[in-house]
Chains A and B, each alone.
Chain A
Amino acid sequence: MPIVDLKNVTFEYIRRDNEGNVDGITTAVDGVSLKVSPGEFIAVLGANGSGKSTLAKHINALLFPTEGAVFVDGMNTADEDKLLDIRSTAGMIFQNPDDQIIGQIVEEDVAFGPENLGVPSEEIRKRVYDSLDAVGMSEYGLRSPDRLSGGQKQRVSIASVIAMKPKCIIMDEPTAMIDPEGRREILETAHRLNKEEKITVILITHYMEEVVDADRVFVMDKGKVAMSGTPAEIFSRVSELQELRLTVPQATELAHRLKMAGVPIRDGILTGDELVSAIMKLWSAAR
């Protein structure tokens, strides 16, 4: 059974004027169908305004589809009795770390989810420190979140979500407001949780470097899934990506330009190392 199953989901934001009349309709998500299997690491790419956040909020039952249906671990998000189950199965991490930390002390913040679920106190304590351990923040349990760096705050947010023991976490541009060092920490944490704890990860981003290690990538444009496939497949379609206003990683772009210039280099190069070895191979073949 897929952990997340979107069936032809459409969502419309309806803007109203002061009198309450409909002023305009934005179709933020437009007929999206996709399935995610347990344990997968999925990346969703897309330029600003392509509907990524709107889509993500559907998986967490914060928004409900105008048309179509969303199933999380077999539960329909339209089923109100399942709301808390759905939200604890599919945890959500938002872009701005300051706007999602609720507690005044790190451990209190991590405890917020399990507290809401009515978990007994001793069990909460265990979960809090296990989760902080999993993101490498257990020494910070008694600190104030205000004193942490952006990357650390975001890792606390991740711990707060995994303390609810989700099967899946959705991260909505978790690195957008974070410095490069923090960005690396967050991505490493996401991959480690995926490998070690077998948590399904849906990473939403507009940085293409961040998706190279994903199992599958979906590219969104104007509310629709424009491309999907493995990172290598996606990155071999450089001109399409550029048309969707996405900047490809430097190595991929260089390989693409070399190819355009007539160099017989292979498709789907993602990292500097791959590029170097591909060029070395060409070079030794040429000699």
Chain B
Amino acid sequence: MLRDITIGQYYQTDSVMHRLDPRTKIVLTFVYILSLFVFENPAVYAVAALFLIIEIILSAIPLLYMVRGLKPVVFLLAFTVVVNLFFTGGQELVSFWIFRITIEGIKRSAYLMGRLIFLVLASNLMTLTTAPVSLTNALEYLMKPLKIFRVPVHEVAMMMSIALRFIPILVDETNKIMKAQIARGADFESGNIIKKTKSLIPVIIPLFVSAFRRANNLAQAMEARCYNGGEGRTRLNPLKYRRADIVAYVLLVIYAVLIVFMGCFLFRVIPIAV
């Protein structure tokens, strides 16, 4: 039952997006998501859609694969659309029983849907094209300024990458413990939720014990290999911006300018007709 857990969702292939520096991709995704929340106007959303389509094409990830990534949010999507469609006040279009569909309602739900879909696709695109190791490296780099506020940036990044390393090991161990308990007659399948939860206690306790033991061993192994905090550390693969990253940043700036321009000035020029 725990077999299918994969960490991250890196899609291994070679593409322009894959080769971009992970920092570029984080900044790109961050700015893109921000841009979805600033303006509500069809022109802005059209540009955002275009930008996303270009990104997807450059990532060489099959479209179907991207669309499947929306599965986890289908319910949320349907829920927000329904709520906004039927319960937004304004100029009435049609009505039956207690439901009234308004023009504002249609607009609102269309925007929300677009926003949510773009948001999920854009962030999936980042994790699909960037290995978890690179993401933690890039985060450490991007968060460096927070050191001024005494945020332990290096330590946080180290913790994240150790967590990523140990998730598969602990999943494996959980499986082993569960099998061992099943062999002793434990039953994880039947009963109501309370009984099922209770039956997990004999799994969780040995798992914790072993996790603490591992943590201790790992700390010792790190010390033995001269780990001494982030001070003075060098990297095997230092992050390096290349030509493509500069191009990406330039495009991002153009995108941002375009969005602001459309949001501020075209707002009244293009009549909002949905």
Please give the residue numbers on chain A whose beta carbons come within 8 Å of chain B beta carbons, in ascending order.
Answer: 57, 60, 62, 84, 87-88, 91-92, 94, 96, 98-105, 107-108, 111-121, 124-125, 128, 146, 160-161, 164
Contact = CB atoms under 8 A, between A and B. Distances in A.
A160 B224 CA distance: 11
Given A98-B214, A102-B162, A105-B133, 7 more contacts: A98-B169, A100-B217, A102-B165, A114-B234, A115-B234, A118-B232, A161-B225
Contacts of A128: 236
Given A104-B132, A107-B236, A121-B237, A146 B168 contact: yes
B162 A87 contact: no
A120 B227 CA distance: 16
A60 B228 CA distance: 15
Contacts of B237: 108, 121
A113 B227 CA distance: 7
Contact of A88 (B161, B221, B226): B226
B221 A94 contact: yes
A115 B231 CA distance: 11
Contacts of B132: 104
Contacts of A115: 233-236
Nearest to A110: B236
Q: Which of B132, B165, B223 has the most CB of A within 10 A?
A: B165
Interface in B162-214: 162, 164-165, 168-169, 214
Contacts of B232: 118
B2 to A, nearest CB: 15
Contacts of B225: 87, 91, 102, 112-113, 116, 160-161, 164
Contacts of B222: 102, 112
B213 to A, nearest CB: 8
B217 A103 contact: no
Given A92-B224, A118-B232, A99 B133 contact: no
B140 to A, nearest CB: 13
Nearest to A107: B236
Given A98-B169, A120-B234, A125-B236, A91 B221 contact: no
Contacts of B236: 107-108, 111, 114-115, 121, 124-125, 128
Contact of A99 (B168, B217, B226): B217
Contacts of A114: 234, 236
B214 to A, nearest CB: 5
A99 B218 contact: yes
B217 A121 contact: no
16 contacts: A57-B220, A60-B224, A62-B223, A84-B228, A87-B223, A87-B224, A87-B226, A88-B226, A102-B218, A104-B132, A104-B161, A112-B222, A115-B236, A124-B236, A164-B225, A164-B226
B162 to A, nearest CB: 7
